[in-house]
Amino acid sequence: MLRLDAIRSVSSIVSDFFKSEFAHRLYSFHPLYLGANPKRAPGALSFIPYLERDQGVWFAKGGMYSVITALSKLFTDNGGVIITNSEVVAIETVEKKVKSVKTKDSSYDCDILVSNADALKTFEMTSSSKSNAAIRRLKNAEYSMSLFMIYIGTKKQYREKLRHHTLILGKDYNKLLDEIF
C-alpha cells in the first residue's frame, strides 16, 4: 500500500494523472458507490475504474433480485428456513454464541445468525453485548451516506442519450461533495 501510495486519497491520486476537471470527476467518483468521500477515501479504491475498464461491468442475468432468488433456493435446498415480515426484537446469546432470535410473535432457535440490519442495531439487540465496547465504538462511529435509487419507467426510450450505468454529476462537483460529507 505504501509503495503504491494507496494511502493518499482517491482525489489526490487522480489529480496527479488528470488536469481536466471532467477526467478528475470521471476517475474519482467511484468511492461514492461505497458511501465514501473521494477526497478522503484511500487511494486503494482507485482500482475500481481500472477493473471496470479492463474487465468490463458485470451483472447478474435477471437483475440483482435473481441473486437473492438463487441464494434463497440454495439456502432452503440445504435445509434452511427463511422467515420474512417478522420484526426481530431480541437476539439471545450464551457465551457470545447466538442461541435464538425473538420476534414480536415467536422465538426461533438457531445455530448461526446472519444479520443484514445496521451493525449497531444488531449489537444492541444481542443479549450478551449490552455493555460491549463494540456498541460504544459504533455509537461514536462516523457513518457514510446511504444510497437511494429511483427507477423511473417511461414509454419513451433514451438509448442514444442515456445508456446503462449513466452517471450525471452536477456542475459544482466539489461543492456537492462538501455538502454531502
What length does the chain have?
A: 181
What pLDDT is stored for residue 42 in this prediction?
Answer: 92
Closest to 87 in 3D by CA, of 135, 129, 121, 138: 121
State pTM to two decimals.
0.53
Task: List, for residues 58-117, the tens digit of each pLDDT value.
Answer: 778 888 889 999 999 999 999 988 888 889 999 998 887 899 999 999 999 988 888 888
What pLDDT is stored for residue 103 in this prediction?
Answer: 94
**What grid cell was written down for 91?**
437476539
CA distance 175 to 170: 9
Instruction: Give the mean pLDDT of the chain.
Output: 83
Higher pLDDT, 7 or 59: 7
Q: At what angle do helices 10-17 and 21-28 cross, to 10 degrees?
A: 140
Residue with cell 444492541: 124
What pLDDT is stored for residue 127 in this prediction?
Answer: 65
Q: Is the pLDDT of residue 147 over 70?
A: no
Higher pLDDT, 88 or 158: 88
Closest to 167 in 3D by CA, of 52, 65, 62, 60: 52
Query: Phi then psi for 68, rounded to 5 degrees?
Result: -60, -45
Element (H, E) at 176: helix 173-180
